[in-house]
Structure 1
């Protein structure tokens, strides 16, 4: 009797042991940078394990992949990228890794803005501004593309991905209302600002705040002395209220413009990357809320 019981327990253990491992298995997804990673986590929930190539506060414009990145990409089932030539280093990384993963472009269906042509830096964005996530309308398309990519990679999770995406899109609707209300509180003649690099054109078009930057849409090249001088003169002539620092950029340039133009430093904006989880912009929604709060406070205040 004891032997029979031992055999039964052994059989039961043999059947039960693989189940927890199976239940915990998640879809391995690589996201090129932190903002995309947040979209994937929001839509994927507990069904996905997300790894970032460029982490919080990292600059994807100038990122240099490591051998460890190649191993990470090789192990992925899905790779989510921004596209619009934002990650110029990624094609070679994917090719060299030998990965079999599907590569999903999160900006599919978005109408890209053309770069301003007066910077002359010669960086490789092909004339299109890659910072499309800076408008909520585009963020909705990002989320839809992420949802569709996850469903294609993991059809069993379709209901989960669709429900998560729907819930997140509702949060984006609320967020957009908050942004528009904040902009409405800024006097129309004060809706102008300076940033280090040209990352806010989609935000500007969507919400009516004009941004000027000494660098183009990439941080790869230094701004010329002529560009900096032109912007300083513009700040003085137009009485631009504030110059904003960026989390991915050296503050030296923005501080120089503020110092020589007399404009105030309005605070730090998050442009191309989230903060760490313990910072003010640990998620996309937190980033957008932080940015509009900083912008409103700086621009709606008294004379510059």
Structure 2
């Protein structure tokens, strides 16, 4: 996949802003899903800038000089961690910031998997709202440390959002639990739904590994095609943030039909169906549950 030129990042970053004041925290988040969750906890006491833009791929992101300036000016920097933001160390060095990023996935039980003969960590923890509850605790603690005067606001916002996350989890179970487990199989572009699959007992098949920067061998693609045929997977999805050509190629060879687009590691633009994490998760659950009903 062709990488973006460095200067493309000079466009204005995606930002979540409340009623700005001189006291508000200037916060940077690595990608849009995390930026939204930070905004939910921080409310109008923070101005949040996302480095990766809507519909952008956080694996292949190429930081710009403007991104380095945002990092330098930030009061708090948030990353998900676990290998998602492989570019962050270079950006920190280029920015000259002394702030150590807050890794919000710290404390989450991580999935390990085999990929290319190596054991790798799956970084896509946010595709389960149960994990995002840990994010919220870590974000709340970091914002309180940076702005103790508004600690009560952050606590109230975090408590309110935790209830939303519980409701999202219940919604997913309500939609998926009634589907027989042998029908819970879906083809997607890359292996980004591991935590969703573990939480809701859904089997995801994909031609690429946990990073879109990996390449699928012809042998592995052929093996995947055979597996899809044998398991009767009827529907495939492409993702808003990466190239759909490979998954379409696999689908054509298996007879799977398109279930549409999923929002896996990037929010949509504001006028899209996944402009917040909550909207993104509920949209994906609706799409996936409808597709799994088709499996025989």
TM-score under structure 1 normalisation? 0.88
Secondary structure of residue in 1 paired with 2:274: coil
Match of 2:158 among 148, 162, 165: 165
Match of 1:281 among 254, 274, 279: 274
State whether residues 77 and 102 of structure 1, in contact with CA within 8 Å, keep that contact through their aligned partners in structure 2. no
Indicate yes or no: 2:291 matched with 1:301. no
**How far, CA to CA, are the matches of 2:165 and 2:114 in structure 1?**
28
Partner of 1:107: 105
Partner of 1:262: 255
**How far, CA to CA, are the matches of 1:194 and 1:114 in structure 2?**
20
Q: Deviations over 1:201-259 (max 9, x none)?
A: 00000000001111110001221111111111111111112111111121111111111
Indicate yes or no: 2:182 matched with 1:186. no
Aligned residues, how many? 278
Secondary structure of residue in 2 paired with 1:38: helix
Match of 2:89 among 79, 87, 91: 91
TM-score under structure 2 normalisation? 0.90
**How far, CA to CA, are the matches of 2:257 and 2:152 in structure 1?**
49
Secondary structure of residue in 2 paired with 1:127: strand
State whether residues 190 and 241 of structure 1, in contact with CA within 8 Å, keep that contact through their aligned partners in structure 2. no
Partner of 2:228: 235
State whether residues 26 and 49 of structure 1, in contact with CA within 8 Å, keep that contact through their aligned partners in structure 2. yes
Partner of 1:11: none
Superposition misfits of 4+ residues, deviation over 4 angstroms: 21-24
Larger radius of gyration: 1
Gaps of 5+ in 2: 1-18
Q: Give the Å deviation of 1:116.
A: 2.9
State whether residues 274 and 287 of structure 1, in contact with CA within 8 Å, keep that contact through their aligned partners in structure 2. yes
Q: Give the Å deviation of 1:302.
A: 6.3
**How far, CA to CA, are the matches of 2:168 and 2:214 in structure 1?**
33
**How far, CA to CA, are the matches of 1:153 and 1:159 in structure 2?**
13
Indicate yes or no: 2:135 matched with 1:135. no
Match of 1:116 among 114, 117, 120: 114
The answer to which structure has the higher helix fraction is 1
Partner of 1:4: none
Secondary structure of residue in 1 paired with 2:253: helix
**Structure 2 vs 1, CA of residues 97 and 296 (structure 1 numbering), >3 Å: closer, same or farther?**
same
**Structure 2 vs 1, CA of residues 229 and 46 (structure 1 numbering), >3 Å: closer, same or farther?**
same
**How far, CA to CA, are the matches of 2:53 and 2:196 in structure 1?**
23
Cα RMSD (Å) of the superposition? Answer: 1.6
